[in-house]
Amino acid sequence: MSFLFGSGIANLQPCQMETVEIEAANREALLVDWLSELLYRATSEYRAYIGFQINKLTKTELNATVAAAVAEAIEDIKAVTHHELSIRKHEPGWEATVVFDT
């Protein structure tokens, strides 16, 4: 999340752990909903998310434990869009393209 909070994010200490649970119709929607969830929490609670543990991940479900720190964003992101959204298998892992409305 350094694009949202700058390089100082590396020095932040977590203040609490939070659980995130997402269900969506497909993999693409799951990615948009996951990022939208983090964006909502970050902007409404003034938090940065600095640690992620994925507990469960399928094509339509995600359960994660995330470490939150108190921080204000340096970048204003309005929303996570479906514009030109793509997720591709790209050895050795995956590659995703997501466009934010800023």
Partner 1 sequence: MRPIGLADLRQITPYAWEIPRSFRNDMRVTARLYASRPMVEHLVHERALEQLVNTATLPGVQEPALAMPDIHQGYGFPIGGVVATRAADGVISPGGVGYDINCGVRLLASGARYPEVREHVARLATQIQRDVPTGIGHGGRITLDDRAMDEVLNTGLGWAIKAGYASEADADSIEERGCFVGASADAVPERARKRGRDQLGTLGSGNHFLEVQRVERIHDRARAEAFGLFEDQVTVLVHTGSRGLGHQTCTEYVRLMDQVMAEYGITLADRELACAPFVSPEGQAYFRAMASAANFAWCNRQLITHAVRDVWQRVLGRDEDLAVVYDVSHNIAKLEEHRGVPCVVHRKGATRAFGPGSDGIPERYRRTGQPVFVPGSMGTASYVLAGTDVAMSETFGSSCHGAGRRLSRQKAKQTIDYNRLRQELDDMGIEVRAASAKGLIEEAPAAYKDVEEVVNVMAETGVTAKVARLVPVAIVKG
CB burial readout 41-68, b (16+ within 10 A) else e: bbeeeebbbbeeeeeeeeeeebebebbb
| Distance, CA of 36 to CA of 80 (rounded, Å) | 6
Q: Which stretch binds partner 1 (CB under 8 A): 12-20, 55-63, 66-74, 90-98?
A: 66-74
Q: Would you count residue 57 as binding partner 1 (CB under 8 A)?
A: no
Q: Which stretch binds partner 1 (CB under 8 A): 14-22, 51-59, 62-70, 94-102?
A: 94-102
Residues 13-52 close enough to bind partner 1 by CB under 8 A: 25, 29, 33, 36, 40, 43-44, 46
